Chains A and B, each alone.
Chain A
């Protein structure tokens, strides 16, 4: 097929993508460094007023149950810790980074509704599993980010992909592979490389459709199940949404019973509403 893409085609277009604010790149790159000067970073973030406002609204949401209202980034770091604050800044930055439009058929809002809901669900799941909740939240938010790469860089081809999906009522992932030759997992991995995401995040993005692959890691299993739950709860409100097949290995690895799932559904819905009010406003 003439318009089939390769992984290299995707990598070549990454430079044309809107870049994240410099300070967010710096935060992402510093994920494994211990000697980061937090006060300098906090100051840099606070120069970006829109970013600061969104971050503080997230920090003050009931998600974190703070007893005081934080009013500066530095304060958020004091109360929530550096890791959590960094993740909130990333979430606030990434959701505003990709432009809407240009790709007929692609529902930008529904995309972010799904991503935010998955982030909320993954965070609740992670707490249940005593796994790092910040990693789970960010990985949930970014798990499908490759889709935005494809939509932004190849809008016409992606539009065909969506048309193919509608025609065949198949999974969007399969439509991507058939029409484009690359899928959003490949594109997500390419972007994760380009934006210097940590290994944990890369594994989760790369493994969220195939958590059974060797080395996929536990976070991939969490994101995989969270993704399916969010489809099942219909939180993105996409007309022809489909629940993907749930990996029995991932489901068993979490090992939760029905009572916990029902509680988790309720919590996910509540948190989703609150976060989406901040991030999609």
Chain B
């Protein structure tokens, strides 16, 4: 057991993440042991076993790396949307897509700033 984990919903779990705990199905049968590195195939099978939330080991990411990743994503989104004027009245659908992709890549705390 480890305290360094978080419960993630199936939609948030990515292949390559590591189970912090043994994973049981609704009947209490062991599906996967603790420490399993999850693959796409495993995740695809989860709904069939009624698994919606998984205990995932937290990755040790230094704040600097996390910040650098965020800045990279932010710059890339700005580059991809360089033809879009966020304040244009006629091009609002593109602006909305940009906001959703930003929320997706940069996390919900950025969303608060947009509003």
Instruction: Give chain A's interface residues, CB within 8 Å of chain B.
Output: 62, 65, 169, 171, 228-229, 231-234, 241-243, 245-248, 250-252, 258, 261-263, 265-267, 270, 273-274
Partner of B82, one of A65, A242, A265, A273: A242
Instruction: Give chain B's interface residues, CB within 8 Å of chain A.
Output: 11-12, 15, 40-41, 43-44, 48, 76-77, 80-84, 90-94, 96-98, 100-101, 103-104
Partner of A246, one of B44, B77, B93: B93
Q: Which residue of B lies closest to A263 (CB)?
A: B11
Q: Is the CB of A232 within 8 A of B92?
A: no
Q: What are the 5 tightest A-B residue pairs by CB atom distance, in nearest-first order?
A: A62-B44, A251-B93, A246-B93, A246-B94, A248-B93
Q: Which residue of A lies closest to B73 (CB)?
A: A234
Q: Is the CB of B80 within 8 A of A265?
A: no
In the bound complex, CA of A52 to CA of B90 (Å): 47
Partner of A274, one of B40, B81, B100: B40
Q: Is the CB of B41 within 8 A of A62?
A: yes
Q: Is the CB of B83 within 8 A of A248?
A: no
Q: Is the CB of B80 within 8 A of A243?
A: yes
Q: Which residue of A lies closest to B42 (CB)?
A: A62
Q: Closest CB-CB distance, A270 to chain B, in whole Å?
A: 6
In the bound complex, CA of A252 to CA of B82 (Å): 23
- Chain B residues with CB under 8 Å of A267's CB are 11
**With A232-B98, A243-B98 as contacts: A270 and B40 at CB distance below 8 Å:** yes
Q: Is the CB of B104 within 8 A of A246?
A: no
Q: Is the CB of B103 within 8 A of A258?
A: yes
A-B contact pairs, 10 of them (CB 8 A): A228-B97, A232-B77, A241-B80, A245-B83, A246-B93, A250-B93, A262-B104, A265-B104, A270-B40, A274-B40
**With A228-B97, A265-B101 as contacts: A234 and B40 at CB distance below 8 Å:** no
Q: Closest CB-CB distance, A198 to chain B, in whole Å?
A: 28
- Chain A residues with CB under 8 Å of B91's CB are 245-246
Q: Is the CB of B103 within 8 A of A262?
A: yes
- Chain B residues with CB under 8 Å of A242's CB are 80, 82-83
Interface of A is mostly: helix
Q: Is the CB of A243 within 8 A of B100?
A: no
- Chain B residues with CB under 8 Å of A248's CB are 90, 92-93
In the bound complex, CA of A236 to CA of B29 (Å): 41
Q: Is the CB of B97 within 8 A of A246?
A: yes
Q: Which residue of A lies closest to B95 (CB)?
A: A246
In the bound complex, CA of A248 to CA of B89 (Å): 11
**With A65-B44, A243-B83, A243-B84 as contacts: A232 and B93 at CB distance below 8 Å:** no
In the bound complex, CA of A252 to CA of B96 (Å): 11
Q: Which residue of B lies closest to A273 (CB)?
A: B40
In the bound complex, CA of A232 to CA of B76 (Å): 9
In the bound complex, CA of A234 to CA of B81 (Å): 11
Q: Is the CB of A243 within 8 A of B97?
A: yes
Q: Which residue of A lies closest to B92 (CB)?
A: A248
In the bound complex, CA of A241 to CA of B78 (Å): 11
Q: Which residue of B lies closest to A242 (CB)?
A: B83
Q: Closest CB-CB distance, A151 to chain B, in whole Å?
A: 23
In the bound complex, CA of A233 to CA of B105 (Å): 9
Q: Is the CB of B100 within 8 A of A258?
A: yes
In the bound complex, CA of A81 to CA of B69 (Å): 43
Q: Is the CB of A232 within 8 A of B101?
A: yes
